[in-house]
């Protein structure tokens, strides 16, 4: 089985779907001749032509609006927003049009649009290239929200997203575009560094949207995480020698509540980890879900490890980023609680 990093796995997914379905098209800024700023679409325009891999102006509202029109008229567009920080000009199209289209037409119309966008920090991108806005879209009825943590999942989930008849916001943690890391600041701080690759089938396969993955089984505490934080949580659990069960949510909406419930009922403790800001962050929804479904099994308060409630800093990026040290402290605290 070939070994790929996440960039290569995503490219493979789009290559397969462009070849498999003539209705699949790509649209985004610099995705064609340049191959995307992170090279996720490298070579696809040369292979499939400018009418299937479309270079768009710097206008996120136009990119999303065009994708909606394509979807309504029978295509399966995959729109790229170059950085998640730039998705906000397209939010009116996503919230007011894309998410509500099937509902407002009583099912007469739908738009199978996938919106890909790199998110998160760890590359010294500063406040305008490091945000994690996934919580905004999990609050939105009518769209699905996905964030993979490894190349194998990235390919299978992206293919599933493209084939889905509902809109999917597909967040790609750029810190792990080229492989996992353990969340420490002495690691290379650019996304094209030479990291490990994962085994990824070269042909077609899917991973169901809405199903979490238990990446590490344990009995003492449940760790809920996704994207880059999966690797940080695994590193923290190993460093602390804690019998932690680590759950990679993979899909944030719809959420795999049953997998979470089974784990927390077994362990009695829960730590939630995400990179986005704390207040009203996605971790609050996870904590509420655990409290509502597992209250009588909990032996300690649910703890959160998150980014701070500030703009993402450039000079102090690793003070903001949830590191192995911060996650390890949360594990220590939750295990000491009666």
CA distances from 329 to 52, 78, 317 (A): 49, 40, 19
Name 213's bridge partners. Answer: 248
Annotation says 129 is catalytic: yes
For domain 3-199, give its CATH number from 3.90.1150.10, 1.10.357.10, 2.70.70.10, 3.40.50.970.
3.40.50.970
Point out the catalytic residue in the list 51, 129, 195, 274.
129
**Cα-only R_g, the chain:** 19
- Establish whether domains 3-199 and 213-336 are of one fold: yes
CA distances from 126 to 30, 63, 77, 91, 149 (A): 21, 24, 30, 22, 22
Sequence-ordered list of residues with C-beta below 8 angstroms from that of 76, at least 6 positions apart, any chain: 17, 21, 23, 24, 25, 112, 113, 114, 162, 163
pLDDT at 316: 83
Treating both helix axes as pointing N-terminal to C-terminal, what angle do 257-267 and 282-294 enclose, rounded to 10 degrees? 60
Return the domain boundaries, the chain: 3-199, 213-336
In terms of Cβ atoms closer than 10 Å to its own Cβ (0-12, 13-18, 19+), residue 208 is exposed
Assign a CATH topology to domain 213-336. Rossmann fold (3.40.50)
Question: In tens digits, what is the pLDDT along the chain, a chain of 338 residues?
Answer: 899 999 999 999 999 999 999 999 999 999 999 999 999 999 999 999 999 999 999 999 999 999 999 999 999 999 999 999 999 999 999 999 999 999 999 999 999 999 999 999 878 888 888 899 999 999 999 999 999 999 999 999 999 999 999 999 999 999 999 765 555 554 444 433 344 688 999 999 999 999 999 999 999 999 999 999 999 999 999 999 999 999 999 999 999 999 999 999 999 999 999 999 999 999 999 999 999 999 999 999 999 999 999 998 888 888 888 999 999 999 999 999 86
Q: Give the count of beta carbons closer than 10 Å to the beta carbon of residue 2.
A: 12
pTM of the model: 0.94
Q: What 8-state DSSP symbol labels residue 98?
A: I
């Amino acid at each position: 089985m070939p070994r790929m990093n996440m960039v290569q796995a995503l490219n493979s997914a789009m290559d397969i779907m462009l070849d498999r379905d003539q209705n699949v098209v790509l649209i985004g800024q610099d995705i064609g001749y340049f191959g995307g700023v992170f090279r996720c679409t490298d070579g696809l325009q040369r292979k499939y032509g400018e009418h299937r891999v479309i270079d768009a102006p710097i206008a996120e509202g136009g990119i999303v609006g065009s994708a909606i029109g394509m979807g309504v008229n029978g295509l399966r567009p995959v729109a790229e927003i170059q950085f998640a920080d730039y998705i906000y000009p397209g939010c009116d199209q996503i919230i007011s049009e894309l998410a509500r289209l099937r509902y407002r037409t009583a099912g007469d119309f739908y738009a199978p649009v996938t919106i890909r966008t790199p998110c998160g920090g760890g590359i010294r991108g500063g406040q305008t290239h490091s945000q994690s806005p996934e919580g905004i879209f999990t609050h939105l009825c009518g769209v699905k929200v996905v964030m993979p943590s490894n190349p194998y999942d990235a390919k299978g989930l992206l293919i599933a997203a493209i084939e889905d008849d509902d809109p999917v916001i597909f967040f790609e943690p750029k810190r792990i575009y080229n492989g996992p890391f353990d969340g420490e600041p002495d690691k290379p701080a650019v996304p094209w560094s030479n990291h490990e690759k994962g085994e990824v089938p070269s042909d077609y396969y899917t991973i169901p949207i809405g199903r979490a993955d238990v990446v590490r089984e344990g009995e003492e505490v449940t760790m809920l995480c996704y994207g880059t934080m999966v690797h940080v949580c695994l590193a923290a659990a190993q460093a602390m020698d804690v019998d932690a069960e680590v759950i990679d949510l993979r899909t944030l909406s719809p959420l795999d509540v049953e997998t979470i419930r089974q784990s927390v009922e077994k362990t009695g403790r829960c730590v939630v980890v995400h990179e986005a800001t704390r207040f009203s962050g996605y971790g609050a929804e996870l904590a509420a879900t655990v409290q509502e479904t597992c209250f009588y099994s909990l032996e300690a308060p649910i703890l959160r490890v998150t980014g701070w409630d500030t703009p993402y800093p450039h000079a102090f990026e690793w003070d903001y980023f949830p590191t192995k040290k911060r996650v390890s402290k949360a594990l220590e605290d939750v295990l000491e609680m009666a």
